[in-house]
Every structure is written in structure tokens, then in C-alpha cells.
Structure 1
Amino acid sequence: MKSFKETIINAFLMSFFSFFSLSTVVLVKNITSYQIKNIKEKEKNIFIKQVIPKSMYNTFDKKFFFVKNKLLGDKKKHSLWLLFKAKKAKAAIVESIAPDGYSGSISILVAAYFNGKIIGVRVLSHKETPGIGDKIEISISNWITKFKNMNVVDLKDKKFLLKKYGGEIEQFTGATITPQSVTNAIKRTVVFIKRLPLIFSL
């Protein structure tokens, strides 16, 4: 009988400590995930201030939405900020994906007016090759700033090809896939922004 009781007690203790350990792991994971999400949101806000002028950031009202559209690179929900002046929507900032980067998906942030004129672009995250493909980062080179004030006509706009393919976009030494992938994503995203007045009846 004593052996049976000991077995029950041991089983209870093992179950308790297993449950406690699992709960601790889940709690730590949730806390870590929350912190990572907060850090990413703070970084995103920093980039938002970079893709639009300071005067625009301070004087335009911003409304946030989640949107899904194939032009944004995947089937996930993407962040969208509509920018209003005097209660009228003037432009938008959209988080988008270049799914065909050399080393995987590249996350970007694009700001543009509804007529297709680009206000600014920044890369949020990527896994491109250091020293080659990472020139898409503003901290590495000013390549991404060259899109400012360019105008996207439609999805067939040939300006948004690398110069070696007859377009106006500079490539990197030793890299063509990364810059063309980002360029294509920017073009698609701006086309999406141009369609927003119809989607939202602005």
C-alpha cells in the first residue's frame, strides 16, 4: 500500500512540475513575442517618419487599416495608413512584400500619392547577402532613396526595370535579383495605392 501511495505522489509531483515547466515556457514565449512585436512596431514607426517628410508626418491625420491584396506580395494582412489633409485622403503608406528576393522575402514600406508619385520607400527586413544584396538597406547605401519622386504608370511601366534590362533602376555590383525584386514590389505596391480611392471610395 505504501508503494502505491508513493507511486501516486511521485506521479502527481511529476505532473505538477511538468505542468509548471510547460506553463513557464509558454509564459516566457508570450512575453518574448510581445516584446519582439513591440520592437518591430517601434522600428516601423521610425521608418514611417523616414518615408514621408517631417512636415507631412506632423500635419497629416493618419488612419490605420489591415489590408489583403495580391499586389502586396502574399496572402497575409498588411499594414496600411491613409494620410488625410483637411479630412481628405491624399496619400497612403503600405507595408508590402517582395516574395522573390535572392535569399527569401523582403519586407518594404512604401509611401505614395494616389496619382502614383512615390513619396518614399524603406526596407523593413530581409535576409539578403551581406556586402551584396544588403545595399537595399538605408544604413548601407542610398539606393532605396532613388525611388523618391518617381511615378508609377501601371504594372507594365518599363522605368521600373534595371538598366541592364532597359529600365532606369541601378543594379548592384554582382547582384541583379535583389534590386529587381524590390523594384517590382515597389511598382506593385504603388499600383495598389493608386487603386485605393476606388477600394475605399475616397
Structure 2
Amino acid sequence: MKDFKKILKNSFIMSFFSVFFLCVVVYVNFITKSQIKNQNEKEKKIFLQQVVPDIIYNKYKAKKYLVKNKLLGDLKQHNLWLLFRNEIPKIAIIESTAPDGYSGSIYILVAAYLNGKIIGVRVLSHKETPGIGDKIEISISNWITKFKNLSVIDDQDNRVLLKKYGGKIDQFTGATITPQAVTNAVKRTVIFIRNIPFTIF
């Protein structure tokens, strides 16, 4: 009987500490998850200001949507901000994906007028090779700014392609796959933006 009580007591203590530490892990995960989400939102706001300067952004009324479309690189939901003037959408800012990066998916933010003229592009996150593929980051080089003021009319429009394919975008030394993946994603995304009046409205 004493052995049974001892086993029961030990089992209770072990169960108590297991539940306690599980609760601690869940709580810590919740806290850090919230902090990470808040940090990501702050970074996203900075990128929004980079792709559409305040001098332009403040002239419009912004509305946020969630959209799915294969032109955005996958069939996940993507954040879309539409900027309206007089209740008419004029500019789109949208998160998109280049699924064919050298080291995996590259997540980008593209801003363009609905006529297909690009305002700005930034890379949100990637896993490309440091020193080679990471030149897509604005903090590493100005390569990503080369898209500004280019336009995309349709899929046959070759301006937003690498120069080796007849476009206006340089690739950078030591990497072809990364800039090609980003360039192709930007072009697809702008085609989606041009179709917004027909698909959303």
C-alpha cells in the first residue's frame, strides 16, 4: 500500500511539472509569436513606405484586401492594398512570391499603377546565398530599384525581363537564377495588378 501511494505521489508530481512546463512553453511561444508578428508588421510598414513614398501614398485612401491568384506565385492568400482617389482604384501594393529562387521562395512587395507602371519593388524575405543572391536586398545593393518606372502591358511585353532575354533588367555577377526569379515574379505580379479592375471589381 505504501509503495502504491509512493508511485501515485511520484506520478502526480511528474504530471504536475509536465503540465507546468508545457504551459510555460505555450506561453513563451505565444509571447514571442506576438512579438515576431508585431516586428514583421513594422518592417512591412517600412517597406510600404519604400515602394510608395508618402508624398504619393497620402494623396489616396487605402483599403486592404486578401487575394488568391496563381500569378502571385502560389495559391496562398496575399495582402493587397488598393489606393483610391474619388472611389476609383489607382494604385495597388501587393505581396507576391517568386517560388523558383535558388534557395527557395522569395517574398516580394510590388507597387504599381493599375495601368502597369511600376512605382517600386522590395524583397520582404528570402534564403538566397549571402554575398551572391542577397543582392536583391535594398540594404545590399540598389538592384531592386531598377524596376521603378518600367511598365508591363501584357505577357508578351519583354521590358521587365533580364537583358539576356531582351529585357531592361541587369543580372548580377555570380547569380542568374535569383534575379531571374524575382524579375519573372515582378512581371507576373504587375500583370495581376493590371487585371484588378476586371477581377476584383
TM-score band w.r.t. shorter chain: over 0.9
Task: After TM superposition, list the pairs within 5 Å mapping 1:5-44 onto structure 2.
Answer: 5-44=5-44
Calculate the aligned-residue CA RMSD, in Å.
1.1
Take 1:140 and 1:52, find their aligned partners in 2: how far apart are those partners? 20
Is the aligned partner of 1:160 residue 2:160? Answer: yes
Is the aligned partner of 1:146 residue 2:150? Answer: no
Amino acid at match of 1:54: D
Take 2:85 and 2:31, find their aligned partners in 1: how far apart are those partners? 38
Is the aligned partner of 1:52 residue 2:52? Answer: yes
Unaligned 5+ residue runs, structure 1?
A: none
Work out the number of aligned pairs and report it.
201
- The percent of aligned pairs where both chains have the same amino acid is 68
Take 2:195 and 2:161, find their aligned partners in 1: how far apart are those partners? 22
What residue in structure 2 maps to residue 81 of structure 1? 81
- Does the CA contact (< 8 Å) of 2:106 and 2:123 recur in 1? yes
Q: Stretches of 4+ moved more than 4 A in 1?
A: none
Post-superposition offset of 1:172: 0.3
Take 2:143 and 2:18, find their aligned partners in 1: how far apart are those partners? 52
Q: Which moved more, 1:106-115 or 1:51-60?
A: 51-60
What residue in structure 2 maps to residue 94 of structure 1? 94
Is the aligned partner of 1:132 residue 2:132? Answer: yes
What residue in structure 1 maps to residue 188 of structure 2? 188
- Does the CA contact (< 8 Å) of 2:150 and 2:160 recur in 1? no
Q: Secondary structure at the match of 2:58?
A: helix
Post-superposition offset of 1:200: 2.0
Amino acid at match of 2:88: K
Unaligned 5+ residue runs, structure 2?
A: none
Post-superposition offset of 1:76: 1.1
What residue in structure 2 maps to residue 118 of structure 1? 118
Normalising by the residue count of structure 2, what TM-score does the alignment of the two structures yield?
Answer: 0.96
Post-superposition offset of 1:175: 0.9
Amino acid at match of 2:191: V
Normalising by the residue count of structure 1, what TM-score does the alignment of the two structures yield?
Answer: 0.96
Amino acid at match of 1:10: N
Amino acid at match of 2:61: D
Amino acid at match of 2:111: A
- Does the CA contact (< 8 Å) of 2:147 and 2:160 recur in 1? no
What residue in structure 1 maps to residue 66 of structure 2? 66
